[in-house]
Amino acid sequence: MLTFFAKRIGWSVFTVLLATVLVFSAIQSLPGDAASQILGQNATPSAVATMRQQLGLDDPPVSRFVSWLGNALQGNFGNSLVSGGSVGAEVGSALVNTSLLAGITIVIGVLLSLVLGLVAGLTRDRWPDISISTLALVGMSVPEFVVATVLVLLFSIYIPLFPAVVIAGQNASVAEILPSVWLPAGALICVLAAYIIRMMRTSVIDVMDSEFVRTAILKGNSTPRIVFKHILPSAMLPTLNVIAMNVAWLIGGVVVVESIFNYPGIGTLMIRSVQTRDLPAILLITVMSALTYVVCNLLADFAAFLLNPRLRYPRSAK
């Protein structure tokens, strides 16, 4: 069992490292370097050269990567080329905001979609299933910016319950942001739920067709017991990975929704950093989102491990 965990964690670390190398090299190959970026188009070549030296850009890429990684491991991710402040702090506060948004979305969205998927699977081809599946299909096919716009139209213009955009800036406190979380969260839940509902439904239907569920029914078990003891654990297994991918996508890729609502999260920061070519910020954000994907998948593996006795007790260990 320990080797299972150790192996998975080892691979995860390797994956993150690999992603970091890839992101670092990708940024190196972007046209224009940081020095000319900072000094602007009218800078003299000698000034650029001096700047390059100051920033250590003349060093070979490998040594720059190693020193970046060394600093990063100590929590120093470099300074923003735009504001001059610590990138770590900037990204950190954006990450907190995004985590708030993502957290609310995950808790509500995952629970909601698991329940809806389960109901849809259990009532296969009857009206609850048909309505849930149709809604999920709509949620999947309509892009999130449309969902977001419709939500704004409904809940902040027709019925002014929530603010349409976030006015608070990057450094706003949680209390300031909380009221404006709900609309972006709603938009994200719609998209996220669609995938999980469909996966959960399929997986519940598969499990219901299995012989062990038939046997459980023929044993005279009550419906709740059949659903929660016999169907749910097996049906959750394939769904876990879909949840993991979606959760990771939430944290790494909420760009569109965040920018519609001007939500001061990681997506908004990413867009701004790309526009201003703030390379250290881009680097850190990309690495963070790779890290999120890896961690989410790792968590999904561990959850699968807990749900699936075949993983916990391999047959050979008799």
Partner 1 sequence: MTPETITSNGRRRADEDIDVVQLRNLGISYRTGKREVAVLKGITLTLEKGRILGLVGESGSGKSTLASALLGSLRTGSFVSTGTASVSGQDVFALRAKELRRFRISEVAMVPQNAGSALTPTMKIHEQIAEALHSLKGNKTAQRSRAEELLRLVRLPNPAQALDRYPHQFSGGQQQRIGIAVALAANPTLLVLDEPTTGLDVVTQAAILDLLSGLQGSLGMSMVMVSHDLGVIEKMCTDVAVLRRGEIVEAGATREVLANPKHPYTRGLVASVPRIDVPGIPPSMDQDAIDAGEDWVPDQEVYRRIAPQGAVPVLSVESLSIDYRRKHIPGTGATVQDVSFTVNAGEVVALVGESGSGKSSIANAIAGLQKTAGGRITLADGGAGGGELAKTVTGRPKNLRQAIQLIFQNADTSLNPRQSVHTAIQRPINLFSVKNASVPQALADVDLPASYAQRLPGQLSGGQRQRVGIARAVAAAPSLVLADEVVSALDVSVQSSILRLMDELSREKSLGFLFITHDLAVVRAIADRVVVLYLGRVVEEGTVEEIFASISHPYSRLLLDSVIELGDDHDAKRKAVKDEIPAAPPEVGCPFASRCPLVRDVCHTVAPPTIAVSATHNIKCHADVAELTGVSAEVLEGTRTC
Structure token digits, residue 60: 């070979």
Q: Which residues contact 61 (CB under 8 A, 6 or more apart)?
A: 24, 25, 28
With binding defined as CB under 8 A, does residue 163 bind partner 1? no
- Binding residues with partner 1: total (CB under 8 A): 26
User: Which range in 98-106, 180-188, 226-234, 270-278 contacts partner 1 by CB under 8 A?
Assistant: 226-234
Report the distance separating Cα 295 and Cα 182, nearest Å: 25
Q: According to CB under 8 A, which residues from 171 to 210 bind partner 1?
A: 210
Q: Are 246 and 302 in contact (CB under 8 A)?
A: no
- Find residue 143's DSSP bridge partners: none
With binding defined as CB under 8 A, does residue 234 bind partner 1? yes
Chosen residue from 5, 89, 146, 219 binding partner 1 by CB under 8 A: 219
Chosen residue from 70, 128, 169, 309 binding partner 1 by CB under 8 A: 309
User: Which range in 105-113, 157-165, 290-298, 310-318 contacts partner 1 by CB under 8 A?
Assistant: 310-318
Q: How many CB atoms lie within 10 A of CB 167?
A: 11
Chosen residue from 230, 263, 269, 300 binding partner 1 by CB under 8 A: 230
Residue 298 dihedral angles phi and psi, to the nearest 5°:
-65, -45
With binding defined as CB under 8 A, does residue 216 bind partner 1? yes
Chosen residue from 73, 157, 175, 218 binding partner 1 by CB under 8 A: 218
Residue 104 to residues 120, 157, 251, 279, Cα–Cα distance (Å) = 24, 23, 12, 30
Residue 33 dihedral angles phi and psi, to the nearest 5°:
-110, 175
With binding defined as CB under 8 A, does residue 169 bind partner 1? no
With binding defined as CB under 8 A, does residue 308 bind partner 1? yes
Nearer to partner 1, 31 or 310 (CB): 310
The radius of gyration of the chain from alpha carbons, rounded to an integer in Å, stands at 24
Q: Which residues bind partner 1 (CB under 8 A)?
A: 210-222, 225, 229-230, 233-234, 307-310, 313, 315-316, 318
